Structure 1
């Protein structure tokens, strides 16, 4: 049986981070990676057994080619990635401070993905996905990306395609909670962080979050709480599931890995508890490794975890 297809809409950029933990203003060399919330999600979903395709725009430049090569290397389809001849691929730089804190510097203004629009959403829908994944981060990139997110979510809902919404709110980007609130009634899976619950729903109390999200029309809700685990849908309300205990090397990408694994498991018929369990295992691997996707389980290990997720959710 063919695995279900998940299509994610968003931006992936090339990341530079100093080698050896030096600050950006002093480093002589840097490692180069590809990162982006939706691509991270899709990589995890693919590793968890779903088919995955990335819908985006990149520049006609070496960085754009690197993004596509990285996505393909993760098993994520790139046929829905358009090449923009007039705009560059976005880049960003991660600075690691002496106290271990991380600061990220983005150079994405005017990027190819900032020109995403309704036509890109139509291209994603034409691929015939079982589920589309959208986020507030993409919607905040500009008027065109906002239209693309809205059209993809609404178009998917009209076609009976599941919609997964991750608010992915970023303080440095324009607010989009008004759009996200409009999309809640057509959201099949709402995956939000505790820090995003207050701006979107006015509370971070798990029981109240679930109640308000369902009252707004959202379907299944997952509340991600980082090191404190997550709350997933149970038969009598939200149930807490602790995170896996690991030494944190880099927390970036954990929420995306959780979401991708959760969604792939749910499409495969795993119950919410089992899907959440799988998400915590994928997230634990990511935070224990540098890079957004380096810690994803290898395919044999991922298959074994998925089998355990079925048993856990039973």
Structure 2
């Protein structure tokens, strides 16, 4: 057994390691090459996850690097507004903050254009992992997306997962596979023995396990050493873990405007609920509620429930769990 970690009462519940970028999106669905106006947001998988976790009642902190530029300041301000602590975000003088652009095509498909090569976050390394661990969180959240940013970020993800596990800190892994970036499937498979919570999309499961069948995925993941699995299935809802195997929970979404960020919101709410002692069914239900709000609005995290609504949802998830 690892030695107990001495934690400050103010220590974060969750630290997420990743990249946040500024998102520019045409207003009114116009194409990028013809739009006259655009809206500006801040987004990034780990930051989205942490925002949802914070809204669900967890103390959340972001570990990253941003440039010493207006976009970096915007990322820090947006994270703070989302109640995500930014003390673990380093500022790099020689590298810019990443940006990306998103447009909605006439057929409804989303097209995303990234300008993240050479960004400050792409220079992360093992030191960033050590900084995250020094905050003594209860859980660290990592993703394949971060590992795919470069060799340094990949080393940071591996070190954070391994060292957290060695210290008795729970590890949550979301593969977040991006075909346009470096392949990291083999690295992620190597992290499974250190993973307490595996939150993955059903479409990503074949890359790790060779199948998307929920029962087979759950069995293979647990055989690899994973503590708990939840399978996100988009419009088909999700599958969560029970002692009797996976159970399907239909989606809570009734209106879909922009699906980007929904999986991150699900994961953040799910993890916050599990840390609060809510069972897997209640946690999956809460994640689905958060995800439904995000898909109903443009932007990656604008659709999160407000504080009062979030408290009511968490209470409902916990009350339902206590009645079983």
Structure 1 position 245, deviation (Å): 3.5
Range moving further from structure 2, 285-294 or 39-48: 285-294
Q: Distance in 1 between matches of 2:210 and 2:101?
A: 33
**Which residue does 1:13 correspond to in 2?**
21
**Which residue does 2:194 correspond to in 1?**
186
**Which residue does 1:46 correspond to in 2?**
54
Cα deviation 1:198-232 (Å, max 9, x = unaligned): 00111000100001000111110000001111111
Q: Distance in 1 between matches of 2:189 and 2:253?
A: 34
Q: Distance in 2 between matches of 1:209 and 1:5?
A: 28
Contact kept? 1:3, 1:50, Cα under 8 Å: no
Structure 1 position 281, deviation (Å): 0.2
**Which residue does 2:233 correspond to in 1?**
225
Cα deviation 1:266-304 (Å, max 9, x = unaligned): 000000000000000000000011111111001111011
Normalization by structure 1: what TM-score?
0.98
After TM superposition, where is structure 1 displaced by more than 6 Å over at least 4 residues in a row?
Answer: none
Question: Pick from 278, 283, 296: which aligns with 1:288?
Answer: 296
Q: Distance in 2 between matches of 1:3 and 1:232?
A: 29
Q: Distance in 2 between matches of 1:236 and 1:5?
A: 29
Q: For residues 1-314 of structure 1, what are the structure 2 equivalents within 5 Å?
A: 5-313=13-321, 314=324
Contact kept? 1:4, 1:267, Cα under 8 Å: no
**Structure 2: 5+ residue stretches without partners:** 1-8
**Structure 1: 5+ residue stretches without partners:** none
Q: How many residues align?
A: 314
Structure 1 position 242, deviation (Å): 0.8
Instruction: Rate the CA distance shift 1:194–1:146 in 2: closer, same or farther, 3 A.
Output: same
Q: Distance in 2 between matches of 1:205 and 1:52?
A: 32
SS of match in other structure, 1:83? strand
Structure 1 position 310, deviation (Å): 1.0
Normalization by structure 2: what TM-score?
0.95
SS of match in other structure, 2:42? strand
SS of match in other structure, 1:104? strand
